Amino acid sequence: RLAADPAIPRLAALVREAVADGRPILTTGCGTSEHAALMAAALLEDALGADVRSAQAFEVTRRPPAHGVMLAFSHEGGTAATNDALLGAREAGAAAALITVSDRSPGAGLADLLLLTEEQDQSWCHTVGYLSPLVAAAVLVGALREQPIDPVVVRALLQIADHEAGAEEMAAALSGCTRLLVVGSGVDYPAARELALKVEEGARLPATAHHLETIRHGHLAAADAHAGLVLLLTDGEAWGAPLVERSRAVLRSAAALGMPAAAIVAADLGDDLPLPLTPAGRL
């Protein structure tokens, strides 16, 4: 449906014009939607070859983008900070777009342009609220690249990812931990933040997301065999060998500390991580 949505070419045109004029592009949101905004910024930056900034919506209200394009994410369109950011952006002269579920919300009334996902989230951990904006952002990026997203590929990816037995085994291996450290780099870092949020929100287990390099600069000093580690490694195309080696180094550190470690890894990168380094399993 998104491939034929007239909002996609309109939003793509706004973004292209901003890049051509040297005007800023900003993505924003709160909580789960903030993580979707971070991911969208990374995808847009890669597609445009230009800087795309992402900021938490409350912080945007302190310094709204002027004369650029702000792309906000709010699943239900009712988050106060995000709506304040939309209003502030418009008052500052920016074009304000919103990716949201429907046009019947306070946020929808504040945006210059709406891109609707139309799938109301029923999950207590906002699974749809995170995933559907990412699909919308990917379709937008496909339009900017003039390489449309194949819906068959998206469906196949979702089916492959729905591996409940593997997830249950990993959860069982980590269930005795007192806290989790979740690690990622590039587009894996927003996903790590979202996973940490969902672990805390859903399982009530303390969890913290770290950049792949940052965790090696002091944070592991507070870790022991009671802390678990989950490594995300799906974004290996842009910076392969150093990224994989740093990932292995973090897993080796976890092994030295006796930490149960697991990985969510792209199939083509799985062989680069020795199985003994992920005793808690991998997806």
Instruction: Please say if the pLDDT value at position 236 is more than 90.
Output: no
Residue 78 carries which DSSP code?
-
| One-letter amino acid of 130 | Y
Residue 277 carries which DSSP code?
G
Query: Which residues have CB under 8 Å from 21's CB, separation 6+?
Result: none
Closest residue by Cα to residue 225 from 252, 200, 254, 205: 254
Q: What is the pLDDT of residue 97?
A: 97
Output the CA–CA distances (angstroms, integers) from residue 195 to 88, 190, 199, 243, in the order listed: 30, 9, 6, 20
- 104-116 pLDDT per residue, tens: 999 999 999 999 9
Confidence grade of residue 237 (pLDDT, cut at 50, 70, 90): low
Residue 282 carries which DSSP code?
B
What is the reported pTM? 0.93
Confidence grade of residue 276 (pLDDT, cut at 50, 70, 90): very high
Tokens at residue 99, please? 């990716």
By the 8 A CB rule, do 234 and 188 touch? yes
Output the CA–CA distances (angstroms, integers) from residue 196 to 121, 125, 268, in the order listed: 19, 12, 25
Percent of the chain residues past pLDDT 70, beyond the cut: 99
Number of H helices, E strands in the chain: 9, 9
Confidence grade of residue 173 (pLDDT, cut at 50, 70, 90): very high
- 247-257 pLDDT per residue, tens: 999 999 999 99
Confidence grade of residue 238 (pLDDT, cut at 50, 70, 90): low
